[in-house]
């Protein structure tokens, strides 16, 4: 059987999603927990590999097993063997054609900024603190230049291994709620550090250090060395992965609830 799971985690104490052997990773601990429930070694595949310090509220994974367990048993049994900073929200059997990564039609990320004069004890690892005032309206206007299908070479990491830099951004929304500014990016796929690099450019615009046209200027350069700084990882969340309706993948629990 092939089983899909919905997973959330606080990435603060992890060296990213991927198993690396000598450091703490989400994949390693998830595989260990599932292997105990399945009573055999399990390998999990995820929808999107998150970096060190990056969080997820809507990660989707799949694995194959011969073990007969109910959906409820996969959830409760695995959570009983997981640390408190990882949790499984749902489990379901999926067709053999399903793949957590390659079947995904789109992904959604949120970049969360705490914008106030003093730092936060509670949000230190879950949002990026910017003490200088940010103009979210300038950021929102500037962000719209990135909506559509573009070559995002200037917005990907130097070491990005994607075969091509063209991606389609369906929606990019910047809004403020109290002391928090949220950058929501919905795209067919993402390049390495793409959201953090977009956030870095928008933050500079929000501070007034760059004109609103800078998002477009950077895009047209197609040169990462001439782009903005990469924003820190702790503000980034993988919030949802979209799949064709035929797979009937559930929405993340509480997916309509803002983190702030």
* pLDDT digit string (tens) for the chain, length 260 residues: 999 999 999 999 999 999 988 899 999 999 999 999 999 999 999 999 999 999 999 999 999 999 999 999 999 999 999 999 999 999 999 999 999 999 999 999 999 999 999 999 999 999 999 999 999 999 999 999 999 999 999 999 988 888 999 999 999 999 999 999 999 999 999 999 999 999 999 999 999 999 999 999 999 999 998 888 999 999 999 999 999 999 999 998 765 555 55
CATH number of this structure's domain 106-238: 3.30.70.660
As a whole number of angstroms, the distance between CA 192 and CA 183 comes to 17
pLDDT for position 79: 98
Question: Is residue 51 flagged as an active site residue?
Answer: yes
Assess contact for 3 and 74: CB atoms under 8 A: yes
Query: Domain spanning 2-103: which CATH class is it, in words?
Result: alpha beta
pLDDT for position 22: 87
As a whole number of angstroms, the distance between CA 206 and CA 200 comes to 10
**Catalytic annotation, pick one of 10, 39, 51, 217:** 51
pLDDT for position 256: 56
As a whole number of angstroms, the distance between CA 34 and CA 227 comes to 42
The two domains 2-103 and 106-238 share their CATH topology (first three levels equal) = yes
Is 260 annotated to bind a ligand? Reply is no
Q: Which residues contact 182 (CB under 8 A, 6 or more apart)?
A: 110, 111, 112, 113, 173, 174, 175, 176, 258, 259, 260
Domain range list for the chain: 2-103, 106-238
Assess contact for 9 and 83: CB atoms under 8 A: no
């Amino acid at each position: 059987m092939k089983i899909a799971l919905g997973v959330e985690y606080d990435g603060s104490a992890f060296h990213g999603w991927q198993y690396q052997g000598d450091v703490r990773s989400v994949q390693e601990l998830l595989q260990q927990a599932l292997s105990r429930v399945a009573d055999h070694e399990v390998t999990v595949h995820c929808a999107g590999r998150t970096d060190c310090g990056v969080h997820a509220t809507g990660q989707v994974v799949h694995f194959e097993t011969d073990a007969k367990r109910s959906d409820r048993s996969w959830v409760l049994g695995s959570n009983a063997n997981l640390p408190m900073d990882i949790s499984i929200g749902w489990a379901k059997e999926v067709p053999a054609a399903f793949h957590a990564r390659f079947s995904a039609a789109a992904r959604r990320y949120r970049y969360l900024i705490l914008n106030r004069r003093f730092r936060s004890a509670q949000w230190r690892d879950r949002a990026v603190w910017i003490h200088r005032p940010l103009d979210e309206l300038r950021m929102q206007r500037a962000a719209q230049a990135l909506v559509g299908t573009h070559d995002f070479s200037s917005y990907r990491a130097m070491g990005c291994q994607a075969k091509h830099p063209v991606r389609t951004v369906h929606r990019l929304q910047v809004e403020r709620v109290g002391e928090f500014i949220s950058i929501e990016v919905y795209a067919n796929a993402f390049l390495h550090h793409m959201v953090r690099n977009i956030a870095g450019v928008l933050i500079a615009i929000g501070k007034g250090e760059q004109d609103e046209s800078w998002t477009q200027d950077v895009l047209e350069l197609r040169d990462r060395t001439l782009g903005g700084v990469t924003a820190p990882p702790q503000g980034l969340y993988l919030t949802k992965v979209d799949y064709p309706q035929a797979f009937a993948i559930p929405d993340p629990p509480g997916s309509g609830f803002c983190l702030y």
